[in-house]
Structure 1
Amino acid sequence: MGFIAFLLLGLIAGAIAKAILPGKQGGGWIATLLLGVVGALLGGWLGGLLFGVDINEFFSISTWLLAIGGSLIVLLIWGLITGRKSRS
């Protein structure tokens, strides 16, 4: 998969992950792009490690599911790291 296709996959996967998870996540489209790209990398790595599947083709359902799943994981971790802290 080419670099531009991978960025597009990351942007769309990050947007879908933000739409799936409840709550208000901060960040604009650049944060969504970074979240999605990191999530796609994580999803591809986990998919290869656990299931023997990799993200080679843009129009493959396994590629999209792994990218979205990875983006959900990254978004959950990001929410735990940057969670709102109470002020005393």
Structure 2
Amino acid sequence: MISAIVIGLLVGLVARAIKPGADSMGWIMTIILGIVGSFVGGFLFGADKTGFWGFATSVIGTIIVLFVYEFIRSRSR
């Protein structure tokens, strides 16, 4: 459980750094974003990847989730 939180935080921070634009979210939302993005990346690219490729697919999945999150958030304003 602790490792999922730490990995989620790292993946969320890397995805937010890669994706352009201002993301105004806190630590908890970044962790949730990273964990959900890891599931999305694992689902889209295969969950059997570990190491660097697992991290890379998690970041890609997190960027996808971040785009969807911003799209929904902008539509609600």
Query: TM-score normalised to the size of structure 1?
Result: 0.78
User: 2:32 maps to what in 1?
Assistant: 34
Is the partner of 1:17 in helix, strand or coil? helix
What is the percentage of aligned positions where both structures have the same residue? 37
Q: In the alignment, is the contact (CA less than 8 A) between 1:14 and 1:33 conserved in 2?
A: yes
Q: State the 1:36 CA deviation.
A: 0.3
Task: Give me the whole-angstrom Cα distance separating, in 2, the residues matched to 1:27 and 1:35.
Answer: 10
Considering only CA atoms, is the larger Rg found in Structure 1 or Structure 2? 1
User: 1:72 maps to what in 2?
Assistant: 63
Deviation beyond 3 Å, 4+ runs, structure 1: none
Q: How many residues align?
A: 76
Q: Which runs of 5+ in 2 are unaligned?
A: none
Is the partner of 2:20 in helix, strand or coil? coil
CA RMSD of aligned residues (A): 1.5
Query: TM-score normalised to the size of structure 2?
Result: 0.88
Q: In the alignment, is the contact (CA less than 8 A) between 1:7 and 1:33 conserved in 2?
A: yes
**Higher helix residue share:** 2
Question: What does 1:33-72 align with in structure 2 at a 5 Å threshold?
Answer: 33-48=31-46, 53-55=47-49, 57=50, 60-72=51-63
Task: Give me the whole-angstrom Cα distance separating, in 1, the residues matched to 2:6 and 2:42.
Answer: 15
Question: Which string of whole-angstrom CA distances, capped at 9 and with x for unpartnered residues, describes residues 3-57 of structure 1?
Answer: 2222211110011111111111121110100000000011111111xxxx525x4
